[in-house]
Structure 1
Amino acid sequence: MIKAYAVQQAGGELQPFEYDPGPLADHDVEIDVEYCGICHSDLSMINNEWGMSQYPLVPGHEVAGKIAAVGAHVNHLAVGDRVGLGWHSSYCGDCNTCLDGDHNLCSDAQGTIVGHHGGFADKVRAQATSVVKLPDELPSEVAGPLFCGGITVYNPMRQFDLKPTARVGVIGIGGLGHMALQFLNAWGCEVTAFTSSDSKREEALSLGAHHTLNSRDAQALEQAAGRFDLLLSTVNVKLDWNAYVNTLKPKGRLHLVGAVLEPLDISVFPLLAGQRSVSSSPVGSPATIAQMLEFAARHDIKPQVEVFAMQDVNKAIDRLHHGSPRYRVVLKN
């Protein structure tokens, strides 16, 4: 039996929950969960904000742990390996996107917490393809958030062949943004942190930003016209998107990785006149995750975490929901 914490209905409190996962499939692995990050996507799933939650729901898709068992056809992982598991727990492996290496775009991919029990537990199971080894230099305590938040901000750098000479603005310095600053700085970019919080200005500079810009200052936004090659938005709230588009260079890109629920209100002419783009992306493929982990280990990039005991999961959820953690909350078994 796997011992976990689950919610029984939308917005419910997490309670102890046990389930029998059955025999281990030939292409799957079982992971002893050592740490599991808490992401805003977990909150969205708990509250069924996206209309796809199934209950009982065991959240948790930022898993770091050790392989406890491997299926008969698993050859690249062994019992005892330190590994991580992110948003996807399996892929079809046969569609064109999988064959192209874009597993994260597979229409039949299985979400780790979408119709599948996640990592708020002592163990979790997943297809071996979706599980990635951790570099020796990367502590397990900080590895989990890289498998969702980290890869979410790293993936567009890879997908759009971001040049190290690029000028990049990061909108929102929180769970995603504080990792984006570190990745972009190590990539070689000139990095500006957009933040409305004076308390985060010095933190942003210490995390890798070269400049900060007060996102509530309309004049400062106007003065930044034509400055950026890329704007990476990590927020999940509606902003004056036209003001941000105006800060892009010709051929610049506004890229959204925060799950904004409201429709985007963007005028076409500023896009058309400057051949600017608006885009978005999900997490990355296992190959991109592996590359990100190697890059993070090489450049000593680590999310800042606050650690709670797994049995204090409801306190940890409340900290994320109503507090201001710096910057990711992680559960420890």
Structure 2
Amino acid sequence: MTVHAYAAVVAGGPLEPYEYEPGPLGPNEVDVRVTHSGICHTDVGMIDDDWGISRFPVVAGHETVGVVEAVGDAVDQGQVAVGQRVGVGAVAGACFSCEWCLGGRQHLCPHKDNLVQRGDRGGFAHHVRASDWRYVLPVPDEIPSAQAAPLLCAGTTVFPPLLEHGVRPVDRVAVVGIGGLGHLAIQFLAKWGCEVTAISTTPDKEADARRFGATGFIATREPGALRAAAGSFDFILSTVSADLPWDEYLDALRPQGTLCVVGVPSSPIAVGPLNLLPAEKTVVGGVTGTPLRTRQMLEFAARHGIRTEVETYPVAQIEQAVDRVRHGRARYRAVLEL
């Protein structure tokens, strides 16, 4: 089988047709014919080599939905079968033998298969190969494929912290950033039963935030707006890839509150010890979830009508779609139709 993909051959370069031979199918591997592929800021970062780790040619993409075409001999076909609609997301496999995998924490596996870091084997392609069938997840019938694709990264980034950090329906929470991750986080938290405040730099997205389920809104460029929220929240989820006034966000927490950072700031996170220690506050990071957490997220989204707001593009417009994500113009996720 020849895989037809779209690759950048130099940093920041255009995405050009690219072909490769994936080789024989391994016992735990699954080939999926891709119908939809989401475009994440991480994809743009790999295309542009923002972190100096890209290996060219780069076939980006790590939010894929499609149909199973072939499975390896060791695949549990009661779970993954030819013809099934499935998703392959940010992680496509793990070792399942290290202490983290054996403890059910595959998201911490040092050998996990990060789809976007494979070089020329990513999801901007007509086929993608998962290295382990346990990362090939059925998509609930209630969720259209274009809306499901971004859930496989954005959704499984913002949903697991609710479980891992004990967010309760009675909690007052805030979501920083109303973008690809934030608009999903607001929906999850509102359906979780929380009182949700959206935080953005300007009031431009307030109407959207309230439509997604927020009952409060803070525009941080309004003088004193964030300081006025001191002591307000049990949990704050930061979804923005930006440096923030971290001490002001710690001040906005109640005692024993948690600030969870899932966006990637460009500079070190620095906080004053007296803003952290006396009230036993916590600063934590987050990454995409385990296969179990991703399954739970998809089921929760299907049950509660949580939907990604997407712009869809035929693959012939891949450059236009990537450029909208590069400049932060997508509302709220861009998805390729292959």
2:259, 2:328 → 1: CA distance?
A: 29
**Structure 2 stretches of 5 or more lacking a match?**
none
Match of 2:129 among 108, 112, 125: 125
Q: Does the Cα contact within 8 Å between 2:202 and 2:221 map onto a contact in 1?
A: no
Q: Please state if 1:94 is matched with 2:97.
A: yes
**Structure 1 stretches of 5 or more lacking a match?**
none
Residue in 2 aligned with 1:83?
Answer: 86
Q: Which amino acid aligns with 2:164?
A: Q
2:190, 2:68 → 1: CA distance?
A: 33
2:7, 2:226 → 1: CA distance?
A: 44
What are the equivalent positions in structure 2 for 1:56-205 lying under 5 Å apart?
Answer: 56-75=57-76, 76-116=79-119, 117-126=121-130, 127-205=132-210
Offset, 1:322: 2.2
2:31, 2:223 → 1: CA distance?
A: 51
Deviates more, 1:216-225 or 1:103-112: 216-225
Residue in 2 aligned with 1:296?
Answer: 301
Offset, 1:160: 0.9
Q: Secondary structure at the match of 2:209?
A: helix
Q: Does the Cα contact within 8 Å between 2:28 and 2:72 map onto a contact in 1?
A: yes
2:90, 2:50 → 1: CA distance?
A: 17
2:37, 2:308 → 1: CA distance?
A: 13
Offset, 1:284: 0.0
Residue in 1 aligned with 2:21?
Answer: 20
Post-superposition CA distance 1:186-217 (Å, at most 9, x none): 00000000012322001100101011011123
Post-superposition CA distance 1:243-292 (Å, at most 9, x none): 11100000011110001121112111111111101110100000000000
2:202, 2:309 → 1: CA distance?
A: 18
Q: Which amino acid aligns with 2:33?
A: D
Superposed CA RMSD in Å reads: 1.0
Post-superposition CA distance 1:13-68 (Å, at most 9, x none): 11000000011111000001010000000011112222221111111100011101
2:129, 2:33 → 1: CA distance?
A: 9
Q: Secondary structure at the match of 1:113?
A: helix
1:52, 1:106 → 2: CA distance?
A: 19
Match of 2:220 among 196, 215, 219: 215
Q: Secondary structure at the match of 2:266?
A: coil
Q: Which amino acid aligns with 2:111?
A: D
Q: Which amino acid aligns with 2:88?
A: L
Offset, 1:317: 0.5
Residue in 2 aligned with 1:49?
Answer: 50
Residue in 1 aligned with 2:314?
Answer: 309
Q: Please state if 1:256 is matched with 2:261.
A: yes
Post-superposition CA distance 1:57-97 (Å, at most 9, x none): 11110001110111111112101111111111110010111
1:81, 1:136 → 2: CA distance?
A: 11
Residue in 1 aligned with 2:247?
Answer: 242
Q: Secondary structure at the match of 2:92?
A: strand
Q: Secondary structure at the match of 1:156?
A: helix
Q: Provide TM-score, normalisation by structure 1.
A: 0.98
Q: Which amino acid aligns with 1:83?
A: V
Q: Which amino acid aligns with 2:44?
A: L
1:49, 1:222 → 2: CA distance?
A: 33
Match of 1:278 among 267, 278, 283: 283
Offset, 1:323: 4.8
Cα distance change on mapping 1:100 and 1:323 into 2, 3 Å: closer
Offset, 1:114: 1.1
Percent of matched pairs sharing the same residue: 44
| Residues paired across the two proteins, number | 333
1:55, 1:323 → 2: CA distance?
A: 24
2:289, 2:266 → 1: CA distance?
A: 21
Q: Which amino acid aligns with 2:314?
A: A
2:186, 2:64 → 1: CA distance?
A: 23
Post-superposition CA distance 1:158-193 (Å, at most 9, x none): 111211111100001011100000000000000000
2:75, 2:51 → 1: CA distance?
A: 34
Cα distance change on mapping 1:131 and 1:292 into 2, 3 Å: same
Q: Secondary structure at the match of 1:92?
A: coil
Offset, 1:239: 1.3
Offset, 1:325: 1.5
Q: Does the Cα contact within 8 Å between 2:173 and 2:196 map onto a contact in 1?
A: yes
Q: Which amino acid aligns with 2:181?
A: L
